[in-house]
Structure 1
Amino acid sequence: MSLQTEMETFKASWLERVGPEVAKLVDDDNAGLQSLADRSLKEGARFPAMTLGNDRGGETDLSALVAEGPLVVVFYRGGWCPYCNLELRAYQGRLAEIEELGARLVAVSPETPDHTSSTVANNTLGFEVLSDAKGGRLADALGIRFELSPAIRELYRKFGHDLPARNGDDIWSLPMPAVYVVEQGGRIAHASVDPDYRKRLDPAIAIAVLNDLKKVRTA
């Protein structure tokens, strides 16, 4: 089953639970983010050079990773998001293929490191999960971070998602889920940003981009 098929299956059950009024609220809110997605960093731009805390209590220098080889960066909303967990597990399932192509895989969340480490454990992940908490510097540099509307804040409170507590600040903000395939040296080879958090880039597409990059390197 493809990642998007899994997500559509979950979305169908979610729609049954929440009803049409909540579904329309979420659809309208997602649509309002399209202009932000259109302005985010695209192919050809340089991926921001930053150091972020990792799930092991240390720090990871993204510029050092892209100096060594290609990098796949999966930006997700948090371990509380079921769509994000489906995505992370899908990428875990293709991790060996990504590494065989000489690339590294990391995920980035706005959550604090204690929450990212829980996500690693809960999903049995074999790749680093980094924290962009307390300000979302990387998400801002990519142009994918936004503040939630009052209506969505209230909905998330109702669902028990205390984002300021999980993200370590007092701002109700999130990144749009995104996947970047970065070639060695730091240029973005592929950027996938969708304002609808129920749609994610299938790992097969990221792997296809990595294959193309390998062909160029070995030509």
Structure 2
Amino acid sequence: MATDAPLSQKLAQVLAMGKQMVPAELLQQLLSPVEMLRANKAAERALQEGEKVPDFTLPDALGNSVTLTQLLGQGPVVITFYRGSWCPYCNIQLHAYQQVLPQLKELGASLVAISPQTPDQSLSLAEKQALTFAVLSDAGNRVARKFGLVFTIDEAVRAAYRQINADLSAFNGDGSWELPMAGTFLVDRDGTIRLAFVDPDYTRRLEPSIIIASLKKLRNAQSS
């Protein structure tokens, strides 16, 4: 898998491999929440561009508290919600964002990634992926709920998740089987969302190049 390929291309390759390796019936079960969320127009209920984000304080992988307002005091913040370390699409996305982290910092921005998994799971992910940005644990999806991202994996689908070693009760430390839709937000220093990407289809993520272009646009607007 070429390291300089667009994120969408890398994600498509993983999906293609999954279709070859995972039985069709199992894959259909795993994808069924996507259709449910689309039918319910769930993404339309998520926070949108121009809205204010709620402040939050969450623990990082080492247990240190990270507060959004403190980060915004230093510059714009990119907030990305992901499902967990068990999700190959999340791993590819976070790796891609790690690769452009120097460019984000040059543009004055910081990056945080949020999932409902426990700090121990986040630490394992950060170490395995060599992530140098904050990986935060949102127990009970408290923050993701304020962003309008949370949904529940139906009882009928949970066995399929367990077959791919994605027992959410173990990863998240509770029995809710709730996940956030994958979403990425660029938040201005005043707490306003300048870019919002939420897709019920977990195989689709926001390209790093779009984040960088939006940051440049934001910087130019503030300097003019």
- Say if 2:145 is the partner of 1:140: yes
* Equivalent position amino acid for 2:103 in 1: E
1:110 deviates by: 0.7
| Distance (whole Å) between structure 2 residues aligned to residue 160 and residue 109 of structure 1 | 17
- Say if 2:91 is the partner of 1:85: yes
Q: Is the 8 A contact 1:77 1:109 kept in 2?
A: yes
1:44 deviates by: 0.8
Within the candidate set 163, 167, 171, 1:166 is matched to 171
1:170 deviates by: 1.5
Within the candidate set 180, 189, 198, 1:193 is matched to 198
* 2:132 alignment partner, SS class: coil
1:72 deviates by: 0.4
| Distance (whole Å) between structure 2 residues aligned to residue 26 and residue 114 of structure 1 | 25
Q: CA RMSD for the aligned pairs?
A: 1.1
Q: Which residue of 1 aligns with 2:61?
A: 55
| Distance (whole Å) between structure 1 residues aligned to residue 168 and residue 125 of structure 2 | 15
**Which 4+ residue blocks in structure 1 deviate beyond 4 angstroms?**
none
Q: Is the 8 A contact 2:30 2:160 kept in 1?
A: no
Q: Which residue of 1 aligns with 2:218?
A: 213
1:37 deviates by: 1.1
- Say if 2:209 is the partner of 1:180: no
Q: Structure 1: give runs of 5+ residues left out of the alignment.
A: none
* 1:171 alignment partner, SS class: coil
- Say if 2:171 is the partner of 1:204: no
* 1:65 alignment partner, SS class: helix
* Equivalent position amino acid for 2:185 in 1: Y
| Distance (whole Å) between structure 2 residues aligned to residue 59 and residue 154 of structure 1 | 34
Q: Is the 8 A contact 1:69 1:185 kept in 2?
A: no
Q: TM-score, normalised by structure 1?
A: 0.96
Percent same amino acid at aligned positions?
Answer: 41
- Say if 2:139 is the partner of 1:120: no
